[in-house]
Amino acid sequence: MLTRIDHIGIACRNLDETVEFYRATYGFEVFHTEVNEEQGVREAMLKINETSDGGASYLQLLEPTREDSAVGKWLAKNGEGVHHIAFGTADVDGDAAAIRDKGVRVLYDQPRIGSMGSRITFLHPKDCHGVLTELVTSAPAEQTEH
């Protein structure tokens, strides 16, 4: 069962400038940064709040590290802005299978490793009213600190 909005992914051209905008404008601070070589992005997670299920909600700022990455291609076509929405779940495998059984295309056969050691998969935007949707099972808390 999906339990929360885990994060909203925002594609940007310059991660440092975008982080500074969210810090100066809204007071959001960086909780975690990393480079995901497989996905070709440099990212910053800005924690918005804690949630009742022990998780949190974040803004995920994504700067492509190469033009041929999924975010790089998306940014070239669409410009900066909301890239995807991610829902938190305790069981990404089970929820992905249940959603697949409802006719929605799941983009990965097996979940992959995402931000902060999470397990993730994506749902096809054409099956989700134009919204690229991610399912996320967070890593245990001791693995998610900076």
Which residues are the active-site residues?
Answer: 7, 43, 60, 84, 134
Neighbours of 54 (CB within 10 A): 13
Describe the chain by its helix, strand, coil percentages, rounded to 5.
Answer: 25, 40, 35
For residue 81, the surrounding DSSP H or E stretch is strand 81-89
Burial class of residue 48 (count of CB atoms within 10 Å of its CB; 0-12, 13-18, 19+): middle
DSSP letter for 54, please.
S
132 close to 70: Cβ distance less than 8 angstroms: no
